[in-house]
Amino acid sequence: MLSAGLPSSSTRLLGSQLSQRLTAASRCHHSLAGLGLSASRRPASRNDVAAAGPLGVLGSLRRLQTISKGDTIPNATFAYVPWSPELDDGTACGVPTKFQTHDEFKGKKVVIISVPGAYTPTCHVRHIPPFLEKLQEFKSKGVDKIYVIAQNDPFVMSAWGVQNKGKDQVVFASDVNLEFSKGVGSTVDMSAAGFGVRTGRYALVADDLKVSYFAAEESPGALDVSSAEAVLSKL
């Protein structure tokens, strides 16, 4: 418990600080809701914080969707470390490289899965593994490549890809300066948790640079419209 070994004055101070943060989160919720920017439907409670963690409660979506079916995807920069067998034991870090989405994706059918952060609970445990497990189903639907993107640097994304056994089948890349996510209108502000502004949680299917499916989650901790099953159903 928080109070163990602490003077009563310290306990009261910690309780006061938590209450202030929750009050601020509540005010932020109401302000953003008025602008249509927050997907949370009610103020955060202490139980919410305990259950959902920073991704579920302390992240406020900056979602002003700017892309729709039939639109051309943003021409943005992705950075990644190309997979090689030497990376698999974790002793090598590889060399990052960059590409422009219009150059890389032209003439291809690609699935782009965006997450708020590598190794975070929903992303690491629930969101990404099914895409690896169902890789052959995606290929049978004509998908050339799956790209997992986040705000993390390319070295972290590479390590995450290695741990997920993405090898050269699924590319784990960094959305440099959030160019792509800002371009589609889906980022999440996690400054309250000390994480800054990050990529939102969304799925996008592009066929020769044209959007055939785009959907962003209602909150950064949610997993519905961007799941492997949801994307497969739209192919």
Give which of 126, 111, 127, 129 is closest to 232, Cα–Cα. Answer: 111
Q: Tokens 């099914």 appear where?
A: 130
Q: Is 123 a catalytic residue?
A: yes
Number of H helices, E strands in the chain: 9, 10
Give which of 149, 131, 150, 123 is closest to 54, Cα–Cα. Answer: 123
* Sheet containing strand 145-150, strands side by side: 97-100, 77-80, 170-175, 145-150, 109-114, 202-207, 210-216
Selected catalytic residue, list 39, 87, 123, 150:
123
Residue numbers annotated as active site: 123
